A = this chain, B = another copy of it.
């Protein structure tokens, strides 16, 4: 990783700092784009009817509540590593579109998973269900809250499409792949949870699609393509799929053993929703009793956690994560980009996969 094929002028400490500064600056512009876009949409809604702004406000609240912005970060890093012009507004639109799509996925996912918290705040469907109950409105509070969340998620999906036409046209092929692929991954995830049979191969496929490709590989290649470096696709795919799978496995571990005050969402949700994660798939293969601890009533998440630890599977998953990160970093070490960007991508892999939230 120290012999450079191509080099930017100055690849020392200073250059790494400037790399972070350029990236952070672009990420700031993505934030600004998201907020100015949503405030323009709110004004459009208010023109139709003041009562219509609630849907946009729900979206703005979720965007404002933070999040890791990992897809914009990989898109921008892929772009800059490929030599893209940091002043081109197109990449800002592409990264903002990716985040808006993700917001849509989160809102719908939280309904699918019956999750009450996201980024430390009540989820969209929870907010509207509670509002419905408090006001004593007609109909069922659950249906109302989930109905609003369906529409608000749809709106975010449509808004992602309004942002994307401003992105460099070369980035759109990956965008087209990504947006339907992630839904197919989610469908497989839901189906696997319903059947809940240990199938580590399927668990890995779901992690590959839902995280490897959606979170890292395709955003990176979108960035590289936007900068005219489609030749980087193979190396970025190898890196992204490995690091992204590791990202998902880290999520699985955090769901099982993490701290909800850090993650901003409930823990143990994979147990209650019978998610066929690799963690559970491997554990169920080693210890048949785990399945009934999860599916039969009367067991606490702590019982599941204890039994999982006894199987030694969490350690195996940690080792698997380490192997994936290593594989990803090896792929990037050979990529024909400046060493400072190889280092940055290596650091990003480590940050994504060794986190506590």
Query: Which A residues contact B (CB, under 8 angstroms)?
Result: 41, 45, 48-49, 51-52, 54-55, 104, 108, 111-112, 114, 132, 135, 137-139, 143-144, 146-148, 150-155, 157-159, 161-162, 176, 179-181, 183-184, 186-188, 190-191, 193-196, 202, 205, 209, 273-274, 295
- Report yes or no: A180 in contact with B159, Cβ–Cβ below 8 A: yes
Assembled-state Cα–Cα distance A186/B155 (Å): 11
- A155 & B137 in contact (Cβ 8 Å cutoff): no
Q: A187 touches which one: B146, B148, B159, B161 (CB < 8 A)? A: B148
Closest residue of B by beta carbon distance from A137: B194
Contact B138 A161 (CB under 8 A): no
A194 touches B139 (CB 8 A): yes
Verify B273–A52 contact, CB threshold 8 A.
no
A188–chain B nearest beta-carbon distance, Å: 5
Which residues of B are found within 8 Å of A147, using beta-carbon distances?
111-112, 190
Q: What residues of B have a CB within 8 angstroms of the CB of A184 in the complex?
A: 45, 48, 52, 55, 155
The copy count of this chain in the complex is: 2
Take A183-B55, A186-B151, A190-B148 as given contacts and tell me if A138 and B274 are in contact as well, using a CB distance cutoff of 8 Å. Answer: yes
The residue on B at minimum CB distance from A41 is: B180
Taking CB atoms, residues of chain B closer than 8 Å to A186 are 151
Give every chain B residue within 8 A of A209 (Cβ-Cβ): 48
Contact A151 B183, beta carbon cutoff 8 Å: yes
Known pairs A49-B205, A52-B187. 17 more at Cβ < 8 A?
Answer: A41-B180, A49-B188, A54-B187, A54-B191, A55-B183, A55-B184, A108-B154, A112-B143, A135-B195, A137-B196, A138-B194, A138-B195, A138-B274, A138-B295, A146-B146, A151-B187, A154-B154
Partner of A194, one of B144, B150, B153, B161: B144
Residues of B within 8 A of A176 (CB): 162
Chain B hits for A162, CB < 8 A: 176, 180
**Which residues in B have their C-beta under 8 angstroms from that of A274?**
138-139
Chain B nearest CB from A291 CB (Å) reads: 10
CA distance A158 to B187 in the complex (A): 14
Choice from B153, B158, B188 contacting A179 with Cβ under 8 Å: B158
A193 to B138, Cβ gap below 8 A?
yes
Residue pairs across A and B with Cβ atoms less than 8 A apart, 29 shown, are: A41-B180, A49-B188, A49-B202, A49-B205, A51-B191, A55-B183, A104-B154, A108-B150, A108-B151, A108-B154, A112-B147, A112-B150, A135-B194, A135-B195, A137-B195, A138-B194, A139-B273, A144-B190, A148-B190, A151-B186, A151-B187, A152-B187, A154-B183, A157-B157, A157-B158, A158-B180, A158-B183, A161-B179, A162-B176
Q: What is the bound-complex CA distance between A191 and B137, given in angstroms?
A: 9
Q: How far in angstroms is the closest Cβ of chain B from A158?
A: 5
A259 to B139, CA, bound (A): 24
Q: B residues within 8 A CB of A55?
A: 183-184, 187
